[in-house]
Copies of this chain bind each other. A is one copy, B any other.
Amino acid sequence: MDYRPRPEDVRFLLEAVLDAPARLRALAPFAEVDDALHAQVLEQAARFVGSAVAPLNRVGDAQGCRFASGEVRTPPGFREAYRAFVDGGWPALSAAPEDGGQGLPAVLEAVLYEWLAAANHGLTMAPGLLHGAYACLRHHGSEELKARYLPKIASGEWLATMCLTEAHAGSDLGQVRTRAEPRSDGSLRVSGGKIFISGGEHDLTPNIVHLVLCRLPDAPAGPRGLSLALVPKWLPGGERNAVHCERIEEKMGLHGSPTCAMRFEDATGWLVGEAGRGLAAMFVMMNSARLHVALQGIGLLDAAWQKAEAYAGERRQMRAPGPVPASRGGESADLIAEHPALRRILDTQRAWIDGARAIAYRSALMLDIAEHDADPKARERAQRWCAIVTPVLKAACTQQAFHGASDCLQVFGGHGYVREWGIEQTVRDARVTMIYEGTNEIQAIDLLVRKVLPDHGAAMSAVLLELRDTLDASREAEADVQRRLAQLRYLGTTVAMAAQADPVLPHEVADDYLRATMLVLLAWAWARIEAAAPLDAGRARVAAAFRRWVLPEFEMRLAMVKRSCEPVALTHAAVARSPSG
């Protein structure tokens, strides 16, 4: 079955739980975005995604992209669907009006991209990269480059890529070797090889704009020697530029998106931003890009859940234990949705989806506030939230996308392992989200080692205290979350102290620390969901599933980190590590 976006679920979170419409109206550019417009955009997005994008998911996987003589053919229907996406103005949803965009909030775009990924992850990769290129060029491009490329990118008429990775330089971009030599006319001559370039070549748009991480002559070694070049497939004069796709990768999944190995052979490009500041120029959109990957994870998990929930409501196997379910009728076997072990799987994933959505939408809202709030303190607070919460969301939501989709596959039994129902595709597609845009291990280290430890947990504490203050301690569920928030704050201090004796330790426990953070964020989200409205029976069951099957991992992670931080553990760990091998 095809994915069906459910705007009512999303609106409940945005409106009743997060108070998003009012918070957005307080920002100058969105003062006119009333509830009706909000609702209308969501309804239209749901209709577009459900009708034009979702039906192509299967063919995208089965036929995939084809490579021949340097050209890439996307799966049948992808060109038309992308054209409709551009014609509908969807790429420009949150782009600035002066660039031809619609100037809508980032939070609406977040929902759109979550649905797109849920409906068709492969096709979504194409426009998914536009926004990073747009932000990067808008902040760092020269006026000339902006005039030439920004409107085409904002409208989606031309697609863009991020050319970072090289065969020997993956997580370690400081090792990038692609060279760029200045020509007398101010352009650059770019040469080198890049791999894993999503959408490096395709037939969706007449031109493709590559943003290429490269090294100018005499640049120092390492990340400070990196610059960023814009290299179009077709030059302004109409000649073909010397950038070529050498092959596309055979992958576990995501067959609808061509993953290209690219070769630049004295290709013509132009510097974006300052020389030696290539990474900084790229990282301007890092929080937004990582949030989008988290949303892909949430979307894919929702797609898996929808499939499994539908199957469990149709397939009958064996008698369910306990009271006779109303759905039994005269049947000799019960719906598998009535079997407690499978009900648990389904409700657990639902608890993740709704909780993670609340956090992710709040983060998108913070992106809007960080950019548009009149109060610099509010912008700073929002920025702090994004810095801390984004790596948590990216790692935890993508991990759950893969593992939770696999749990949903389990609901199908043997029927889940064959292609027929499409659930195994979701599992394969989801796996990549744990890797790209910074592996989940790097997210965890980013959180603990780069964001929490350097200021001894001050920024983290500030975020947690802010959450604490949104809770009402007179309700037991909310007081419980406050206790957990305090435990997490204290944990940061514990790790900071232990790290002084053993600098390796934070790298070992970063993953547990990140998980504990996500679980407390989810606990906050569920407390808010429960406080927002009297829950119907289904949501009450999901809330119970959250407390019973998801939240207990918090204590485990806490205990794991704490035990590693005990002085005797530090000694043992050091002994066990040495000699390594």
Contacts and interface: CB of A to CB of B under 8 A. Distances in A.
A447 to B, nearest CB: 12
Is chain A's interface secondary structure helix, strand, loop, or mixed overall?
Answer: helix
A246 interface: no
A410 B556 contact: no
A230 interface: no
Contacts of A171: 317-318, 413
Interface in A487-516: 502-504, 506-508, 510-511
A418 B544 contact: no
A540 interface: yes
Interface stretch (A117-125, A370-378, A569-577): A569-577
Contact of A435 (B413, B543, B555): B413
Contacts of A333: 172, 175
B439 A410 contact: yes
A440 interface: yes
Question: How big is the A interface, by class?
Answer: 35 or more
Contacts of A340: 504, 507-508
A170 B413 contact: yes
B318 A172 contact: yes
B544 A572 contact: yes
A165 B556 contact: no
A577 B541 contact: yes
Interface string A517-541: 0000000000000000000011011
B549 A321 contact: no
A309 B38 CA distance: 51
A135 B507 CA distance: 51
Contacts of A337: 580
B435 A317 contact: no
Given A259-B418, A410-B435, A548 B560 contact: yes
A100 interface: no
Contacts of A569: 548
A318 B438 CA distance: 14
Q: Name, among A342, A507, A548, A580, the residue most crowded by chain B CB atoms within 10 Å (CB to CB).
A: A580
Contacts of A316: 172
A560 B552 contact: yes
A548 B563 contact: yes
A114 interface: no
Given A252-B419, A342-B441, 20 more contacts: A172-B333, A174-B318, A196-B414, A249-B419, A249-B420, A250-B418, A250-B419, A252-B428, A259-B418, A323-B578, A341-B510, A343-B580, A402-B406, A403-B403, A406-B431, A409-B431, A417-B435, A537-B581, A544-B572, A556-B556
28 contacts: A169-B317, A172-B333, A249-B418, A251-B417, A251-B419, A252-B417, A252-B419, A259-B418, A322-B502, A322-B504, A323-B578, A339-B507, A341-B445, A342-B441, A402-B406, A406-B431, A409-B431, A413-B435, A427-B431, A538-B581, A541-B580, A543-B576, A544-B572, A548-B560, A549-B560, A552-B560, A552-B563, A555-B555
